[in-house]
Amino acid sequence: MEVSAVEGENGQNDEPEILDLAIVGAGLSGLTAAKIITEKQCGITFRLFEKSTNPGGQLGGLKTCWITPNHFHAMKLCHDLKIPLKSMGNVREDSDRTQMRQSIGPFDANKSVCESFLASLRRALVRFESLRFMTELDSLCTTQQIIRDSTNMDEYLRRKLLFDESYRFFRFLVKIGTGFYPVELNIFECLKLFRSMSSVRDLYEMLTLQESHLQPAGSPNWEVLVERLVSQLGEGTLRYSSNIVQVELSADDQDQVVSLLDTTGRCWRARYVILAVSCTDLVRINILPTQPYYFTEPNSQLGVWCMTSFTLLYPAASWHDHGYTGTLFLPDQWLICYESGRNQLSGTYFSPLRLIDETERHLIRDHILRLLREHFRCYTLLKPMECQLEVYPIPFHFDVFPTFARRLIFASTNVSCWYRGFINGSIQGGIRAAILALLELRPQTITFEEVTDMQCIHFKYFKRHSRWIRVWYSLNLASVGRWALKVGVILLAVAVCRRFLSVCITWPELAEL
């Protein structure tokens, strides 16, 4: 049954059929929401509207290649769909482990053989400070109530961190984790975004690729997950090439129906709508009768704006000859790289460029190759056999409440969540949206467990911190440094005073002589 405006005999469009539910976006969020509603078998009529010609959404960017065993909802969905998972270490075709190779992380990027003891000590202190501050942020996010602190997050980082390296590292984490720079957020807003995602340590572990990260067995990406979801739903429930640009709630209180309009002018009507699109796509939808301002776009003039995902193919994995795994995480230089296949490197470079022409693409390509050559100490990396670049804006995170008497439900809340990985965050958004829609349409089908799980969906990823951990994170190097500075000033003042007094006492004796 086609759900659209149907032309009558007079050539005019008749009133379109009214769906129970319309799901805008056939990415992982929309497909997961549709799966949950289908499994309830409660007679809800729905359709998924996808602007492209294929389902799956944005499955080609960074953090969409793997999950970790801690990603509860993604693991459960794979188990339900009988998708076997395999560790990244086993996926790589090059399984030579006879030589211990090292990855390059944010705290040893500038490591050299001839570095001084002081340089080595500084690196150790930066690592210690950064890992400790991760624990502090995680602890602050897991409290029952986040304190409404309006202090700027950038100032907070300056106050809490002693080393500039740590400061730049956390500016990077905040930006790619939320889409916003610390200067755009206060402490309350930043901690709220952290809570709705997961822990900062999870983000760090996702960016520093580990052997425990998981992929579908026998598949280079997650297309198998999309295929299983579509197969379970049936192709008839999806409508491709339907780019929804306007959503309008009926002004008639008796006829509370939402109208959806696409770029071709075709109209659909539904009692409830799930918007399961990315944050970037959501801002392009005109929501009527009034546009709700429930989120703020990042300032495009501040720092990085675009992500360039790259894949490089070489004749041989020559970085192995220099003792490296192919994993690179350089926040100072805006680069993340990992070994994605036989003789192949993939990753993301973060760029301040918003509009990319061919000249800028060549500059980005050359810059990426120079960074790889410099850190892997391998000149052959300057000449790959193949080079693929895809440039797109950094997604940003926001959190909204259901509006228009719950007629609109947002599943995009966690679409750009890097902390749990794009996959797990998207699945969580779909679960949350489906439960909210069912509570309105068929509340009798929802169990108490499902409601509480939806309300506490993020807290599955938080760990209870002991009293000693809270004491631990309260003792930071910046406060120790300020304390040491104050003690030094006091001791210096005492020494000066003692010297002054000693001179005052001995001066009369010298005068008598």
Annotated binding site: 29
Q: Are 461 and 308 in contact (CB under 8 A)?
A: no
The residue type of 137 is: L
Which of 153, 211, 145 minimizes the C-alpha distance to 177? Answer: 153
Q: What gap in Å lies between CA 314 and CA 344, rounded to an integer?
A: 6
Q: What gap in Å lies between CA 99 and CA 416, rounded to an integer?
A: 37
Q: Are 307 and 323 in contact (CB under 8 A)?
A: no
Q: What gap in Å lies between CA 57 and CA 50, rounded to an integer?
A: 9
DSSP string, 305-369: -EEEEEEEE-SS-GGGGGTEEEEEEEGGGTEEEEEEETTEEEEEEEES-SS--HHHHHHHHHHHH
Phi, psi of 9 (to 5 degrees): -65, -30
Binding site, annotated residues for FAD: 29
Q: Using CB atoms within 10 A of its CB, is residue 423 exposed (0-12), middle (13-18) or buried (19+)?
A: buried
Q: What gap in Å lies between CA 347 and CA 376, rounded to an integer?
A: 15
Please confirm whether the linkage preceding 289 is cis (ω < 30° from 0).
yes
The residue type of 96 is: D
DSSP string, 30-83: HHHHHHHHHHHTS---EEEE-SSSSSB-S-SSTT-S-B-TT-HHHHHHHHHTT-
The sheet carrying 344-351 orders its strands as 102-104, 324-330, 335-341, 344-351, 306-313, 386-393
CA distances from 453 to 193, 362, 415 (A): 19, 48, 18
Q: Are 371 and 308 in contact (CB under 8 A)?
A: no
Phi, psi of 28 (to 5 degrees): -65, -35
For 195, which DSSP code? H
User: For the stretch 8-19, what's the b/e string if a residue is b when 16 or more beta carbons lie within 10 angstroms of its beta carbon?
Assistant: eeeeeeeebbbb
Q: Are 395 and 416 in contact (CB under 8 A)?
A: yes
